[in-house]
Chains A and B, each alone.
Chain A
Amino acid sequence: MSLYLFQALNGIGLGMIYFLISVGLTIIFGLLNFVNFAHGAYYLLGSYLCFTLVSLTGSFWLALVIAPVVVAMLAWVTEKTLIRRAYHLPHTFHILITLGIALIIQELSIAIWGPIGKTVAVPDALSGVISIGDFFYPKYRLFVILFTAVIALALWLLLERTRFGALVRAGSEDAQTVSLLGTHIHKLFALTFALGVGLAGLAGVLAAPIRGVHPFIGPEVLGLAFVVVVIGGMGSFSGALVGGLVVGLVQSLMTTLWPQGASLMIYGAMAVVILLRPYGLFGRA
């Protein structure tokens, strides 16, 4: 029994990381109306920056704050210089441009950090396990669950309770209205892109001590995020949350039953959802 509880907790932690990745994808899609195929590459960058910052300063906490911000700033620059030029083009063009960015980031990462994966140590304060009765659970993984829950709440408040969030939501409905409100739509686009990508970077940092850093993780992360949004429906906060948790739990519980097939099962689950509910669990036609 405690094995399943252990795996369920693992699944929630993993699912929350998937949520961070997918919600970023979803926010960007909602406002800017395109899918960022470089999302996985920015996650990778987050992980690598975490590795470098931890090796330089020895502080995971510093990395946790700085790495996502750096990733977001890079995203902001990319939006200003490249992505902006493609807004008037069909969505195929956005996909291809961001695909190009993904390739560049991945190859540059290998050039800088080498083709062999890296490991990031769990911060001292969170190493070891916590025990309740005869149940043991790693402190760091528990921290990830709590921390991502706080981030999710903050994000929800940001989107629902602030002027920025209201603009993002209004812009998802109709970008023209927002520009009529006198808001600089370009500024809003750049900020939203930076926020969404920053969340992917944050996910990369949080996952680094658990899964390590591997230069070819980008496509896998992107694929997983797509599975989450296909299952949960694109453009919704709750869809990303539920989709992320479903995928995390399926993957984690499958690991005990059929370790090799765990990744495979997620995609199987997606195929089933597409067959039964082509528009996702919460999607509308």
Chain B
Amino acid sequence: MTKPNAQTSIFSGVTLAALAAVILMPLVLPSATLATEILIFAMAALGCNLLLGYTGLLSFGQGIFFGGGAYIASLSMIHLDFGLFGALVAAMIAGSLLATLVGALAIRRTGIYFVMLTLAFSQMAYFLAYTLSDWTGGDNGLLDVPRPALSLFGFELADLTSSYAFYAFVGVLFLAIFVFARRVIHSPFGTTLVAIRENEGRASAVGFSTNHFKLLAFVISGGITGIAGALYAMLLNFAPLSNIELLMSENILIMTIIGGTGSLLGSLLGAGTIVLLGDLLSSIWPRWMIILGVALIAVVLFMPSGLWGGVESQCKRWKERRCTAGKTSGKAQEAK
């Protein structure tokens, strides 16, 4: 488990794989908008993974941070004339603050109660957004959300109205967050989170005040998810109420789990799979979410390390076969 330095460094194979995915997606997929949506949900799944995969906290509150980020970014652009970065920072702060609130209350309990509390807070946030319809637009959602140009110190660097330009911006941001998340999980903090996941009692006995660690995990997760929410509003030019619904939290959770908890590339894979599936199926069969339910149960029962875990073990098997097969490896590859 102690990894050699090369693996923990920022420019490792994992980061390169993420980079490759970001470059390839718009070339392979039918539209840049679809690719952007995948990256946005991959960010949200990364935030969720930090809690579920690394800290062992199953949170139904991710939609609060996603929706909160979307609302705050939109409102700051509409009413306060915030630019692109201003809105994103505002969304990040809003996500972190909401996560601090939810986290501080929910981690007062552990296990099942913790999960129930996050779900209850998610419902509360939904009703709050619904009630504050003067600000959020209620059921109709918040309309006419702008997508500001990329500018720095008043100089406009790029117009993001084209879907490819916006994709490029989201891609860079995604990679930055991906690298940041890698840094976090390989930091003293990240390794302590894993310790808490593995055995909270022991983590406390060796000197960690576990609640502080869980709370910081929430804050970071909330910040990342808030940014994702803001980008989603900019993508759609619209911040719907469904951003903050329980279903959003569930979707983010399902992406994280189906992709594979405890691996960052898994989050990208999970988000990609679900977003694509939704895009392909929703027009043919509006009730495609039944498949999500079935897939969730199947992954939990038969493939607990998710799709990415499956990919990893396939790779391992393939490598082993290549090593043991020796001369015949050429044929094996041909057959594939």
B30 within 8 A of A: no
Interface size class of chain A, counting residues whose CB lies under 8 Å from the partner chain: 35 or more
Q: Judge whether A104 and B290 touch: CB under 8 Å.
A: yes
Contacting residues of chain A (12-58) with chain B, CB-CB under 8 angstroms: 29, 34-35
Q: Judge whether B108 and A274 touch: CB under 8 Å.
A: yes
Q: Judge whether B124 and A35 touch: CB under 8 Å.
A: no
Decide: A86 near B119, CB < 8 A? Known: A29-B112, A96-B257. no
- B168-187 interface bits toward A, Cβ cutoff 8 Å, 1 = contact, 0 = none: 00000000000000000000
A143 within 8 A of B: no
Contacting residues of chain B (119-143) with chain A, CB-CB under 8 angstroms: 119-124, 127-128, 130-131
Q: Judge whether A35 and B297 touch: CB under 8 Å.
A: no
Q: Is the interface of A mostly helix, strand, loop or mixed?
A: helix
Q: Judge whether B293 and A103 touch: CB under 8 Å.
A: yes
Q: Judge whether A86 and B300 touch: CB under 8 Å.
A: yes
B247 within 8 A of A: yes
> CB-nearest residue of chain A relative to B124?
A267
Contacting residues of chain B (91-137) with chain A, CB-CB under 8 angstroms: 105, 108-109, 111-113, 115-117, 119-124, 127-128, 130-131
- A146-163 interface bits toward B, Cβ cutoff 8 Å, 1 = contact, 0 = none: 000000000000000000
Q: In the complex, what's the smallest C-beta–C-beta distance from B289 to chain A, in angstroms?
A: 5
Q: Judge whether A267 and B120 touch: CB under 8 Å.
A: yes
- B241-265 interface bits toward A, Cβ cutoff 8 Å, 1 = contact, 0 = none: 0000111001001000100000000
Q: Judge whether A227 and B120 touch: CB under 8 Å.
A: yes
Q: Judge whether B296 and A100 touch: CB under 8 Å.
A: yes
Q: Judge whether A92 and B105 touch: CB under 8 Å.
A: no
Q: Which residues of B contact A82 (CB under 8 A)?
A: 297, 301
Q: Which residues of A contact B296 (CB under 8 A)?
A: 96-97, 99-100, 103
Q: Judge whether A110 and B287 touch: CB under 8 Å.
A: yes
Segment from A68-76, A127-135, A176-184, A215-223 that makes contact with B? A215-223
Given contacts A100-B297, A104-B290, 17 further A-B contacts (CB under 8 A): A35-B116, A91-B111, A96-B297, A96-B300, A97-B297, A97-B301, A99-B296, A103-B290, A103-B293, A111-B287, A219-B245, A219-B246, A226-B120, A230-B113, A230-B117, A267-B124, A271-B105
Q: Which 5 A-B pairs have the closest CB atoms?
A: A267-B124, A103-B293, A223-B123, A104-B293, A100-B296
